[in-house]
Structure 1
């Protein structure tokens, strides 16, 4: 794709995600859990297809001379496929966070005030290498009532698209829009530049990867970023 085509493609992705987010935000728990279970079933059923797609990515990675650590993160095994499916089932088993109310208190005026958990809207997630993140991110965003735009590393393009097909199948079987989770189909880095500046369509960006990726996203994004960078990030 040239620059104009990528901009047009990403705008289309953003528009579809925004429309889907309104439907997913209103989806009931049963529909979301149905989608998650169907995704897990599709992943288990398509194990051989997923491993074949991953083999293409591994062949390309070795041909490009990528580091052994990167190839290790990129590699999917039969156990890894089963773990992806199990992760989706674990998300389905979690309590639905949408609509949960906490901290209710009466104010002196007599008004009762509390906090309610609501979906964020459209979440853009940018990550590297690990294909399992595609399933994990899709499942977590859906359970929380959000639409997701996922941009995995170029080295995992075949694996991510194969997993995306299972995710779309699960959404379709549950009667939810397939565009609720979109995995970017181009490896061009210009797509990332578009994603992190589409403030009309994306509500928050989550970068997951090395320091260089995090710094670039934090510096260039025009959308709020949930980031880790240096130090004891888990605190």
Structure 2
């Protein structure tokens, strides 16, 4: 009899290819607002991603710095930030194989949930744009619940809402501290995801590099 009954996911850089989403959005934003000359577009995008630091720096700081560095005069930080908040979700793109993997888990009878650090309703909108909401029984965003990974409490809250024990749940994420160590301390099994096959987590129970592997890895945990 299977022990694992529920699979919980991180959002950014796990289900959502956040880097590619940002690139697509920024390409559009630069073109639409004519922020910088075409020859500086790649430089602007590279600098945004650098300042963003994998989402750890909020975008008011990022845009303030970019306006200064690229001498943008015709738009304010507030205008560019509002554009980001309202439009990033329109460019949401999943990692290859996400929808197929999640659908397979759902059809196999697993309960599915999301735990994401971030602002609300911004993160919910980015997630909803992936078209996966119908598969998910629980969606927890840190800003909405007042808890953040790696705090065990946010993992336990998701388990409680699914009416499952921590031992019956596995967490899939890309961040060694927030996702993997957090899940482990809360008593969940953990799967580390990174699309680069050379990147591994020594803390995770298992490592995954493509979502086509997920179902077999969960069977392995059982």
When normalised by structure 1's length, the TM-score is 0.33
